């Protein structure tokens, strides 16, 4: 885990939890941990690890770097829109666009400020 303000170029860990910038050997920071948390959250809510291919490690890497989450799959049935919105932001391919941990903790699905169903309705067409 990297503290805010520190950077690394090392590639260490489980591929399924590595963000694109690590797989591409680019400089990365604490937002790689947000990616890993997004993978864990997605796995907990759907029962499936996103982006992992049973065909090959190379296909998994390709999926992590280029494939978006597919909410049409049956495993997403019952996952609230706000949770989907949060995972989309936690799993942004571009680390600059990815939420930091403070933003994750302030996300309405984690810290609801108002009725969740109203927020789900508002986000319905944005995901």
* Sequence ranges of the domains in the chain: 19-123
Q: What is the pLDDT along the chain (127 residues), one digit of tens a residue?
A: 555 665 555 555 689 999 999 888 888 788 999 999 999 999 999 999 999 999 999 999 999 999 999 999 999 999 999 999 999 999 999 999 999 999 999 999 999 875 555 556 666 655 6
Q: What is the pLDDT of residue 107?
A: 97
Q: Which residues, in sequence order, are CB contacts of 26 under 8 Å at separation 6+?
A: 9
Is 64 in a helix, a strand, or coil? helix
120-124 contacts at long range (C-beta below 8 A, 24 or more positions apart): 120/80, 120/81, 120/82, 121/81, 123/81, 123/82, 123/84, 123/85, 124/81
Contact 41, 48 (CB under 8 A): no
| Closest by CA position to 29, among listed 8, 51, 12 | 8
C-alpha 25/C-alpha 33 separation (Å) is 16
Q: What is the pLDDT of residue 10?
A: 53
- List of E strands, the chain: none
Contact 74, 39 (CB under 8 A): no
The model scores a pTM over 0.75: yes
CATH of 19-123 given 2.60.120.620, 1.10.357.10, 1.10.510.10, 1.20.58.220: 1.10.510.10
Across the strands, what pairs with 8? Answer: 28
């Amino acid at each position: 885990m990297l503290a805010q303000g520190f950077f690394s170029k090392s590639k260490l860990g489980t591929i399924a939890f590595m963000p694109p910038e690590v797989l591409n050997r680019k400089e990365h920071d604490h937002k790689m941990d947000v990616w890993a948390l997004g993978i864990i959250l997605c796995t907990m809510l759907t029962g499936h690890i996103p982006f992992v291919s049973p065909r090959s490690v190379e296909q998994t890497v390709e999926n992590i770097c280029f494939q978006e989450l597919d909410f049409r799959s049956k495993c997403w049935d019952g996952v609230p829109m706000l949770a989907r919105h949060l995972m989309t932001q936690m799993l942004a391919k571009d680390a600059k666009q990815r939420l930091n941990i403070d933003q994750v903790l302030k996300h309405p699905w984690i810290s609801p400020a108002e009725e969740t169903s109203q927020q789900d309705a508002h986000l319905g067409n944005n995901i």
